[in-house]
Structure 1
Amino acid sequence: MEYERKVCLQRESVMLDSYSGISKKVGMPPGSLIHVGDFDEDDTRISVVDYCHGDLEEPVVETVEDLLKFREKDSITWVCLEGLKNVEITEQIGKLFDIHPLVLEDILNTHQRPKFEEYDDYLYIVLKGLTVADESVDPEDFEVHYEQISILVLNDFVFTFKERKDELFLPLIQRIRNSSGRIRTLGTDYLTYGILDTIVDQNFVLLDTMDERVDAIEEELLDDPDSGTLATIQRLKRELIDIRRATSPQRELVAAILRSDHQLFSEKVDIYFRDVYDHVLRINESVDSYRDMLAGLLDIYVSSISNKMNEVMKILTVFASIFIPLTFIAGIYGMNFEYMPELKWKWAYPTLWLAFVTIPAVLLIYFKKKKWL
């Protein structure tokens, strides 16, 4: 009972932490730009990749105004902002590229549900990026970092807004650097596909780690389960609930993109978004499967503990069954009656000990024959 109470308190704490900071916006008008999130990077890193079929440039950008020179070029410009604590940078991008204040508000408020919104001159996509926390400290721990990633798709610009600095998009950047094929010839819609595909495929790495943890729990259940095993199962179940909350809306998001007839998305890229949709379906099915597996592991744990208790009770019952007749005999000859015929007999004591040895031996043979032992 005490353990269940602790589990409930931990779950409530996780839920409260996931919505921490939202109270900052209470009472403020729509479009108020305030950063609400769990990651507080001290500064914002701006990375730019400007490319076309025959040219690639990765300039160092110090200010948002430096991006205006790329609007004059006939190229695709990918701007990645990592760290949202500096609200002024996001606000400047909104002014220079005519982005609606409500969109900027959603970018900075990192507790958004995955969604896809269409505007006249741009598209807005928001979803969660899931990465496994560093396990070098304790491999038994399984912790997931949830990062909101917002994408603004314009005619020749793509903006990505990330909460923290990492190397998530490095493989995609390497593809742009090394390729002169499809990604360098198609527009911002294909680049958007590449970004979405990178974010979604990261979930497969997460599920592989989850699979390893589930296998380890299964082995532990078959070996010697204890209260720590139950705690691990409960922790994984809670983490899986958060994973499902972050990944299940992605199906609706990609489906909305496939239904879109916006001018920024061409039909030739639809086939690639369908591939992302297939990946999202596989991820959702895997998450549901792991949820069922963890429920099954919990049942196995309860059964294992019950079986261990039954084994203990069986041994205790065998010992009790052996000592019941012995106690009966000892009780009879422990009575203080004067005229008990065996009390004066010379061989009474050895005979009693022979009975004490013979009765347990006979009972043990009988229990073995009945396969109770």
Structure 2
Amino acid sequence: MPPGSLVHIGDFDEEETRISVIDYGRIDLEEPVVETVEDLLKFREKDSITWVCLEGLKNVEITELIGKYFNIHPLVLEDILNTHQRPKFEEYDDYLYIVLKGLSSGENDSSSVDFRVKYEQVSILVLNDFVFTFKERKDDLFLPLVQRIRNSTGRIRSLGSDYLTYALLDTIVDQNFLLLDSMDEQVDDIEEELLTNPTSDTLVAIQRLKRELIDIKRATSPQRELLSAILRSDHELISEKIHIYYRDVFDHVLRITESVDSYRDMLGGLLDIYVSSVSNKMNEVMKILTVFASIFIPLTFIAGIYGMNFEYMPELKWKWSYPVVWLVFITLPTVLIIYFKKKKWL
């Protein structure tokens, strides 16, 4: 298909697109019910900030109409609908385009050490008085920010769309800290299991976490570049006084990246511990088997000698040969066991 063709590509297929709107100023706040894109045009005439959140991207027509009425480039709309984008920041004459991944922990199986991460692409269009967010699914990711706007009359209600964009980025990035807390619990469980009773399931859990960490790093590492590009930008939609807030998000991204790297090293150490634990357990088993073999080798040797069918073996005619052999069979293992314990091999 030619560039700019609008086709939804993603893992979430929400049948209906939910449009929610918050229009606010320093004093006034309005949350109107919006059913069509045309209903958004009336907010252009107001001297306020309008945040439009679309949840569910399967209805391509809604995204296409937003691009038509707000003069958004078709390639940007294509990136919004193709939800396998790398996090990035793009500048245009009248708007900014930001895309990044929202991460959250999925349902964990309580019967085993398991960990799942849900990935959701979040696209943000920043205009002068409008901010559009495009999400793949309906969830409560931005609910704390919505409540903050409802209950606050301070900074977020008095500043512009650039501060709202900061608040959106901060909410998405800080969600990663909750994810890392869940991962920390999983790592602790694996470590405890390694010290008590490591099994093949433990190895599977370690490998699964390592794969998840690779995906997490792939989703979070480009955010550092994204925030750096925003801080370097001199676009009129991002005022100089808001840069300090974006630097705070940049610091959070650095902390998350460092935490992901530390967890990767930690899982590598746990894998080494698992291999060492399995090797030690195998060595213990081999030691016991070697001890038993060492005990029975001389007995087998004696039994082999007197099991030969030679006719002129003098001991075969002795009256006390059988009791003497049994005495040797009992005495020799006893002496060997005492010797092994003295050497601390048992």
Q: How does 1:197-208 map to 2 (within 5 A)?
A: 197-208=170-181
Alignment partners' CA distance in 2, 1:265 and 1:340: 106
- 2:135 is aligned, of 152, 162, 165, to 162
**Deviations for 1:44-98, whole angstroms, at most 9, x for unmatched residues?**
0000011111111111001111111111111100000000000010010011111
The alpha carbon displacement at 1:143 in A equals 1.1
Q: 2:345 aligns to what SS in structure 1?
A: coil
**Deviations for 1:327-354, whole angstroms, at most 9, x for unmatched residues?**
1111222222333332232222222111
- 2:26 is aligned, of 31, 53, 62, to 53
Residue matched to 2:239 = 266
Alignment partners' CA distance in 1, 2:8 and 2:250: 31
Q: Which amino acid aligns with 2:44?
A: R
The alpha carbon displacement at 1:137 in A equals 7.0
1:114 aligns with 2:107: no
Residue matched to 1:72 = 45
Alignment partners' CA distance in 1, 2:253 and 2:155: 23
Q: Which amino acid aligns with 1:353?
A: W
Q: Which amino acid aligns with 2:298?
A: P
- 1:332 is aligned, of 305, 318, 322, to 305
Alignment partners' CA distance in 2, 1:353 and 1:83: 84
The alpha carbon displacement at 1:136 in A equals 6.4
1:145 aligns with 2:150: no
Q: Which amino acid aligns with 1:274?
A: R
| Cα contact 2:113–2:189 (8 A) shared by 1 | no
Q: How many residues align?
A: 346
Alignment partners' CA distance in 2, 1:30 and 1:57: 38
When residues 32 and 138 of structure 1 are mapped into structure 2, their CA distance, relative to the original with a 3 A threshold, is: farther
Alignment partners' CA distance in 2, 1:366 and 1:139: 44
Q: Which amino acid aligns with 1:323?
A: F
The alpha carbon displacement at 1:111 in A equals 0.7
Alignment partners' CA distance in 1, 2:191 and 2:257: 22
When residues 181 and 66 of structure 1 are mapped into structure 2, their CA distance, relative to the original with a 3 A threshold, is: same
Residue matched to 1:97 = 70
Residue matched to 1:360 = 333
The alpha carbon displacement at 1:208 in A equals 0.8
Residue matched to 1:227 = 200
Alignment partners' CA distance in 1, 2:177 and 2:225: 19
Q: Which amino acid aligns with 1:299?
A: D
When residues 357 and 136 of structure 1 are mapped into structure 2, their CA distance, relative to the original with a 3 A threshold, is: closer
| Cα contact 2:115–2:209 (8 A) shared by 1 | yes
**Deviations for 1:127-152, whole angstroms, at most 9, x for unmatched residues?**
00011112367663311111100000
- 2:54 is aligned, of 81, 96, 103, to 81
**Deviations for 1:85-134, whole angstroms, at most 9, x for unmatched residues?**
00010010011111111111100011110000011111000000011112
Q: Which amino acid aligns with 1:63?
A: T
Alignment partners' CA distance in 1, 2:222 and 2:159: 28
Q: Which amino acid aligns with 2:256?
A: I
When residues 138 and 353 of structure 1 are mapped into structure 2, their CA distance, relative to the original with a 3 A threshold, is: closer
Provide the identity percentage: 82
Alignment partners' CA distance in 2, 1:47 and 1:184: 18
5+ residue gaps in structure 2? none
**Deviations for 1:278-322, whole angstroms, at most 9, x for unmatched residues?**
000010011111111111211211111111111111111000000
- 1:212 is aligned, of 162, 177, 185, to 185
Alignment partners' CA distance in 1, 2:111 and 2:300: 54
Q: 1:88 aligns to what SS in structure 2?
A: helix
Q: How does 1:317-328 map to 2 (within 5 A)?
A: 317-328=290-301
Alignment partners' CA distance in 2, 1:58 and 1:337: 107
Provide runs of 4+ in structure 1 moved above 4 Å. Answer: 136-139
1:246 aligns with 2:237: no
Q: 1:324 aligns to what SS in structure 2?
A: helix
The alpha carbon displacement at 1:229 in A equals 1.3
Q: 1:78 aligns to what SS in structure 2?
A: strand
Q: CA RMSD in A?
A: 1.2
Alignment partners' CA distance in 2, 1:121 and 1:48: 21
Q: 2:124 aligns to what SS in structure 1?
A: strand
Q: 2:115 aligns to what SS in structure 1?
A: coil
Residue matched to 1:257 = 230
